Structures are given as structure tokens and as C-alpha cells.
Amino acid sequence: MTTRVRPSSKRCAVIGGSGFLGRHLVEKLLERGYSVAVFDIRQSYELPGVTFYQGDLCDKEALRPALKDVPLVFHCASPAPASDDRALFQRVNVQGTRTVIQACTELGVQKLVLTSSASVVYEGADIKNGTEDIPYAAKPMDYYTETKIKQEKLVLQACDKEGGLLTVAIRPHGIFGPRDPQLVPILVDTARRGKMKFIIGDGTNLVDFTFVENVVHGHILAAEHLRPESPLCGKPYHITNDEPIRFWDFMSKVLVGLGYAAPRYHLPYMLVYGLAMLLWLLALLLRPLVAFKPTFTPMRVALAGTHHYYSCEAAKRDMGYKPLVSLTEGISRTVESYPHLRHGAP
Ligand SMILES: NC(=O)c1ccc[n+]([C@@H]2O[C@H](COP(=O)([O-])OP(=O)(O)OC[C@H]3O[C@@H](n4cnc5c(N)ncnc54)[C@H](O)[C@@H]3O)[C@@H](O)[C@H]2O)c1
Ligand SMILES: CC(C)CCC[C@@H](C)[C@H]1CC[C@H]2C3=C(CC[C@]12C)[C@@]1(C)CC[C@H](O)[C@@H](C(=O)O)[C@@H]1CC3
């Protein structure tokens, strides 16, 4: 007779656990007494209590050992949003997520928590205090968003309260914190090239930036509250700092904290957006001849010049969420963590 090993409830797997959010999540899970299997295409660190499995999440056979006897899986892997490789996004975020769901189902995983994004409802127009019932973007602004929508739908539709896999999606927005590979590094790179002198639009647009530890907290609460009878099943939840801030104030605080000048001169939003569209088209047309990647993409310009902040009331109500780290504290911890990006650093 074969006896099935009952997975320990303090075991979990983090797909994408070598990444920025993934590693912060792994560290907090370890602190809370979980043992963690990390599955990622690359291994970026070593930690006691973590077993690494290196592989591509599109490969079910590679995934199986990492998800075996694990009741809880976090899926926070994705190609970098800055990539413009549509086929890669489609393969990893859509096909790969299908594979993750199949593997979870076949191996008897009980809960799957997906890191989605608040951008799944953003199409360039203002969103003020947006709730989870806003429809998905009909015209997603880039391939990343297009495939995050498909991915979230797949995961939420897979939720089976009748003894099968339970699923929930967390939609963070503008994650920042120590070791972030994109927001602060891109900002500093743009400033070092002298391009952060300008404010796009009138500078009053409010945006959510969310400290990474709050995002982690939201993921763990979601996992621990996900049960067949809970309202979380098959639902998306915004996780924010609950402190919308002017986009340009946030950028200025980070820049000034690192010793750079804050942007000062205003440029009309429509002018910069039009130029970004032109550049994007040019880059597309010239791609066979020269490869160049504009810094100011239409998506980035839209994010910099419109309101986009979201309500996290549903997460407060259904899982007792409350941000643990304030924006001011988060910004100061982030700035301190980048000595090598300070103005004048070698
Ligand atoms: N950073 C943000 O502002 C933000 C905001 C909202 C949502 N998200 C979502 O959060 C998640 C984590 O983002 P992040 O900022 O930590 O990104 P990241 O690039 O630091 O981490 C992603 C990880 O996924 C891994 N990965 C990529 N393709 C893979 C594959 N085929 N197989 C296995 N592993 C693979 C990468 O190696 C990397 O370690 C993503 O799903 C992203 O869409 C990020
Ligand atoms: C070039 C300048 C105008 C600004 C430079 C900073 C930008 C690089 C970041 C400001 C807001 C950021 C952001 C993302 C990427 C980096 C920025 C554009 C995301 C698009 C990354 C992917 C996430 O899913 C999005 C989300 O929904 O949270 C991010 C939104 C904010």
C-alpha cells in the first residue's frame, strides 16, 4: 500500500524566488518558520532553509520536483516588463502559467497565489482609487500588460473550491525597495544622462508606489486566508501603501535622497506622449537594422503623467491587510540601500 505524504503546512514553493519581490518573499517566509523551495531560471543567492531548483517554468518536468509535497505555491516569475519580446511574454506568462496550474493540480497543491499587477486594468487614462471591479484593459499598453491579463484570468479561473486547487491574485502597483532592479536604477540612469530635468504634465497626478515588504505582507496574508469558504477564492486584490503620492514628488524624493537634482521644468503631457509614440514606432521599424531602446516609452510616459492609484479596502476587509511600512520609511530605507547609485559614487 502506498501512503501519500501529507505536505507540511509550513512548506511552500516560490516560483520566481530569485527575483526582487520573490527574494523578499522568501526571506519573510523563512522568518515566519516556512521551509521554502525556490524555482527560478537562475539562482541569485543561497540561504539556509531554502532549496533551489533551477529551470524554466514552461517545463513541467523541471517544475515537478520543486512543487512535490508542497501545499502552497507563490508564482511571482515574469520576464522583465521593459522587454519588448512579445513571444517571450506569451510563452512565459501565458503558456508557462498554464503549465504551473497543471503541475499544481497534478501534484495536489492546495493553494496558488499569483503576483499579478494593478496594470491589468490600466490603459493610459486616469484611475482614481480604482477598485477590483474595473474591467481588464481592453487595449493593454504593452505586451507585458497584455500577458499579465491573460495570466491572471487563467489563474483565477482555475480556482476549484470543491477540494481542488484554490487560487488568488495579488495586484501590487509600483513596487520599490532595496534590490529593486528597475525603478530606482532606471531613474538614476536617466538622471545621470541629464534627462530627469523635466516634469511630464502639471505634476499633480497621484500614483501608488508600494514598499516591497507591504507587498510581501499582502501575499502571505492572502495565502493564509485562502480557504474554500473564504471570499478570496478566485479573486484579485490590490495591495498598495494606501498613501497615493504625486508621481513627481516620489521621483524627486528618491532623486534628492541620492544626491541628484529634482525635475523642475514642465513639458506638456500630450507632446511627450506623442514623441514617445514616434520613437517607439521608429524603434520598431529600424529593429532589423539597429537596436535602440527608448527610455521614454508610451507606457512610462502615461504612468508618469496620469493618475493611477487603487483602493486596498477589499484586502483590508477580507484578509486584515494594513501596510506595515510607511512611504516615508520605505523611501528612506530604499535610498540608503543604494550607496553605489548615489551622485558621485564611483
Ligand atoms: N516590480 C514591480 O513594480 C511590479 C509591480 C506589479 C507586479 N509585479 C509582478 O511581480 C512579479 C515579480 O516582479 P519583480 O519585480 O520581482 O521581477 P524580477 O525580474 O526581479 O523577478 C522575476 C523573476 O522571474 C524569473 N523568471 C523569469 N522567467 C522565468 C522562467 N521562464 N522560468 C522561471 N523563472 C523565470 C526571473 O529569473 C526573476 O528571478 C512579476 O510577476 C511582476 O509582473 C511587479
Ligand atoms: C523615464 C521616467 C519618466 C521615469 C523613470 C521611472 C520608471 C522607470 C518607473 C516609474 C513607474 C514604474 C512602474 C513600472 C516600471 C518602472 C516605472 C515605469 C511598472 C510598469 C513595472 C511593471 C509593474 O507591473 C507595473 C505595476 O503595475 O506596478 C509598474 C508600474 C510603475
Q: Would the pLDDT of 338 be above 90?
A: yes
pLDDT on residue 292 = 75
The verdict on whether 310 is a catalytic residue reads: no
Region 175-193 average pLDDT = 95
Pocket test for ligand 2, best of 200, 300, 306 (most atoms within 8 A of CB): 300
CA-based nearest residue to 37, from 71, 78, 80: 71
Q: Supply the pTM of this predicted model.
A: 0.95
Average pLDDT, the chain: 94
Q: Would the pLDDT of 322 be above 60?
A: yes
Q: Would the pLDDT of 4 be above 70?
A: no
pLDDT on residue 285 = 86
Encode pLDDT of 128-139 as tens digits.
999 999 999 999
Sheet architecture: strand order including 308-310:
127-130, 308-310, 206-207, 245-246
Encode pLDDT of 225-255 as tens digits.
999 999 999 999 999 999 999 999 999 999 9
> Which amino acids bring their CB within 6 angstroms of ligand 1?
16, 18-22, 40-42, 56-58, 76-80, 92, 96, 115, 117, 148, 172, 174-175, 181
Alpha-helical (H) ranges within 116-160 are 143-157
Q: Whose CA is nearest to atom 22 of ligand 2?
A: 81
Contact between 287 and 108 under an 8 Å Cβ cutoff? The reply is: no
Neighbour-count burial for 76-101, b at 16+ CB within 10 Å, e otherwise: bbbbebeebeeeebebbbbbbbbbbb
Q: How far apart are CA 22 and CA 77, in angstroms?
A: 8
pLDDT on residue 1 = 39
Region 122-147 average pLDDT = 96
Report the amino acid identity of residue 161: K
Q: What distance in angstroms lies between residue 207's CA and the mean position of ligand 2's atoms?
A: 11
Region 149-166 average pLDDT = 96
Region 199-227 average pLDDT = 97
ipTM over 0.85: yes
pLDDT on residue 212 = 98
Q: What distance in angstroms lies between residue 81's CA and the mean position of ligand 1's atoms?
A: 8
Q: Which atom of ligand 2 is nearest to the CA of 190?
A: 1
Q: In this structure, which ligand is nearest to the CA of 207?
A: 2
- Band (pLDDT 50/70/90 cuts) for residue 8 is low
Region 81-87 average pLDDT = 89
- Band (pLDDT 50/70/90 cuts) for residue 3 is very low
Element (H, E) at 237: strand 235-239
Q: What distance in angstroms lies between residue 230's CA and the mean position of ligand 2's atoms?
A: 32
Encode pLDDT of 251-272 as tens digits.
999 999 999 999 999 999 999 9
Q: How far apart are CA 104 and CA 95, in angstroms?
A: 14
Q: What distance in angstroms lies between residue 167's CA and the mean position of ligand 1's atoms?
A: 19
Q: Would the pLDDT of 2 be above 80?
A: no
Q: Would the pLDDT of 5 be above 70?
A: no
Q: How far apart are CA 172 and CA 20, in angstroms?
A: 13
Which is the catalytic residue, given 34, 144, 237, 260? 144
Region 301-311 average pLDDT = 96
Contact between 100 and 139 under an 8 Å Cβ cutoff? The reply is: no
